[in-house]
Amino acid sequence: MAEDRIEFLASGSTSGEKPADHERLEMIRAILDDESVWSEPPHDVGDAIIEAISQEAGPGRLSQNPSRSRWQWAAAFAAAAALALVVGLTGVLTGEPDEIVVAMEGTELEAAAAGEATLRPTGDGWWIGLQVSDLPPATEGTYYEGWVWSDEGDGVSIGTFHLRGEGESVVLWSGVDPANYPMVWVTLEDEDGDPSASDRIVMRGRIPDDQLR
Amino acid sequence: MNWVDREILERFRVGDEGAVKAVYERFRGPVFAIALSILRDRELAADATQQTFMKAWRAASTYDTERPFKPWVYAIARRTAIDIYRKASRVVASDQIDGVTSPPGLETAYEVFEVRAAIDELPDEERQVIKLSHFDGLTHQEIAHHIGIPVGTVKSRSHRAHQRLLGLLRHLEEM
């Protein structure tokens, strides 16, 4: 990437000629100056959406985990487990400090499975890259779910995947501190709407104590 | 980048609470950004944000999960903000002929959405430097003092942050 473009985006000027796309860069600079891209919606908007969907869907339609309060966002973000696609993100985030690497091994259900979970802090949580080998694609009607688990027995979902045609790398996300949730599990789940973890643990790993901050 | 896994979308379509939260968490920033850039009112922008996710959920059964999700959400957010703008404009200026009013922030709505999405992907320390530099208008020296790190570190971090931001916004060059 041309240094002059980086310089122009950062400062609005360059030591040499303006980049060819300086107008676009100026527009991005103007957007970065504006409060709209830095603002967050009020905290109650998320609650209101869930409430509205719940009402509109009718009783029992909106599946949820009764053991958790409705919008405990820190845990919920992880429980929601948005799966950012691997495309691009891996390259973007390589080389970050504070990386934690967890060796993953298959349980008796998938003894041949092996892999590695890499945890990197982001601004609002933890990016978790999961590399696995010899874990078969989840069959139709099932999927895999990643979890971080505390020593007290509390698990938080970090995302779902099925490995059907998507390679052996997935990106997961956690909103909870790994220091409190040092174990990483992968379970096999049925598509039955039950948000709780099944007892079919197929892979597990634990953050080494010397990597916990 | 598509940002949301197909399985999350499938669960979103059937109203799975975890998936609804996931989609909200992933897109609340860009959706609120586009709403605020068009409406210039936090209350209206919050209303637009809520309506956007409600509309997305209602329309989810018709959404083709083979297609990228982000542009679909963007289209709903933009449309919703415009509708709210026009309704609000009618209230403020009831003597104006409605239906033709266009909000002033519309031209850059897509870029606002994409820039916020890119900001959300930056590492925290880089996002902080960009915010302090652009939004707060601080110099490298002032940022160094504010964060408590050497000015040289601020410079290198700022360079890295802007480089990464340009990379994340590379697709805008193709438009």
pLDDT digits (tens, 9 = 90+) for B154-173: 999 999 999 999 999 988 87
Q: Which residue of B has its CA nearest to A123?
A: B124
Computed on alpha carbons and rounded to an integer, the radius of gyration of chain B in Å comes to 19
- Whole-angstrom CA distances from B67 to A83, A84, A117 are 16, 15, 29
Q: Judge whether A25 and A14 are in contact, CB under 8 Å.
A: no
Q: Name A125's bridge partners.
A: A122
Residue B132 and residue B89 share a domain? no
Chain A residues lying within 8 Å of B17, measured CB to CB: 50, 62-65, 195
Which of A67-76, A122-131, B27-36 has the weakest average pLDDT?
A67-76
The helix or strand, by DSSP H or E, that contains position B144, with its residue range, turns out to be helix B140-147
Read off the pLDDT band of B22 (50, 70, 90): confident
Residue B70 and residue B142 share a domain? no
Which residue among B15, B130, B158 sits closest to A61, beta carbon to beta carbon? B15
Chain A residues lying within 8 Å of B131, measured CB to CB: 38
pLDDT in tens, A10-61: 999 988 888 988 999 999 999 999 999 999 999 889 889 988 887 777 654 5
Whether A76 and B18 lie within 8 Å, measured CB to CB = yes
Tell me which of B76, B102, B120 is where a domain ends. Answer: B120
Higher pLDDT, B126 or A172: B126
Residue B99 and residue B18 share a domain? yes
Read off the pLDDT band of B41 (50, 70, 90): very high
- Whole-angstrom CA distances from A145 to A169, B93, B140 are 14, 53, 44
Q: Determine the straight-line distance between the first and last CA of chain A, rounded to whole angstroms.
A: 35
Q: Judge whether B15 and A62 are in contact, CB under 8 Å.
A: yes
Structure tokens at A169: 């790398």
Q: Which domain holds residue B134?
A: 122-175
* pLDDT of A79 above 60: no
Residue B77 and residue B11 share a domain? yes
% of chain A with per-residue pLDDT over 70:
75
pLDDT at B97: 43
Residue B91 sits in a domain of what CATH number?
1.10.1740.10
Residue B96 and residue B58 share a domain? yes
* pLDDT of B106 above 70: yes
Mean of per-residue pLDDT scores for chain A: 76
The highest-confidence range among A81-85, A100-104, A162-166, by mean pLDDT, is A100-104
Residue B140 and residue B115 share a domain? no
HSE-CB at A66 with a 13 A cutoff on CA atoms is 2
Task: Determine whether A94 is exposed, middle or buried from the number of CB atoms within 10 Å of its CB (0-12, 13-18, 19+).
Answer: exposed
pLDDT at A176: 79
Q: What is the mean pLDDT of residues B6-29?
A: 82
Chain A residues lying within 8 Å of B85, measured CB to CB: none
Higher pLDDT, A84 or B82: B82
For chain B, the domain total comes to 2
pLDDT at A133: 86
What is the rounded CA–CA span in Å between residue B116 and residue A38? 7
Higher pLDDT, A154 or A12: A12
pLDDT at A72: 44
* pLDDT of A166 above 90: no
Q: What is the mean pLDDT of residues A123-127?
A: 70
Q: A76 CA to chain B: closest CA distance, Å?
A: 7
Per-residue burial over A38-67, b = 16 or more CB atoms within 10 Å of its CB, e = otherwise = bbebbeebbebbbeebbeeeeeeebbbbee
pLDDT at B59: 85
* pLDDT of A123 above 80: no
Tell me which of B102, B120, B138 is where a domain ends. Answer: B120
Look at residue A169 and give its three-state secondary structure.
Answer: strand
Residue B37 and residue B87 share a domain? yes
Higher pLDDT, A200 or A76: A200
Taken in order of first residue, the domains within chain A and their CATH numbers are: 3-37 (no CATH), 72-211 (2.60.40)
Q: What is the mean pLDDT of residues A117-146?
A: 83
Structure tokens at B115: 């820039």
pLDDT at B65: 74
Residues 85-144 of A with CB under 8 A from B: 85, 87-89, 92-93, 96, 121-124, 143
Q: Name A204's bridge partners.
A: A105, A185
ipTM of the complex: 0.89
Residue among A58, A35, A50 nearest B50 (CA)? A50
Q: What is the mean pLDDT of residues A134-157?
A: 85
Residue B50 and residue B73 share a domain? yes
Residue B169 and residue B107 share a domain? no
Which of A10-24, A123-137, A164-178 has the weakest average pLDDT?
A164-178
Mean of per-residue pLDDT scores for chain B: 85
pLDDT in tens, A59-73: 545 554 433 333 444
User: Parallel, antiparallel, or unpaired for β A183-190 and A169-174?
Assistant: unpaired
- Whole-angstrom CA distances from A142 to A107, A189, A192, B20 are 18, 5, 9, 20
Residue B138 sits in a domain of what CATH number?
1.10.10.10
Computed on alpha carbons and rounded to an integer, the radius of gyration of chain A in Å comes to 21
Q: Judge whether A65 and A154 are in contact, CB under 8 Å.
A: no
Residue B156 and residue B116 share a domain? no
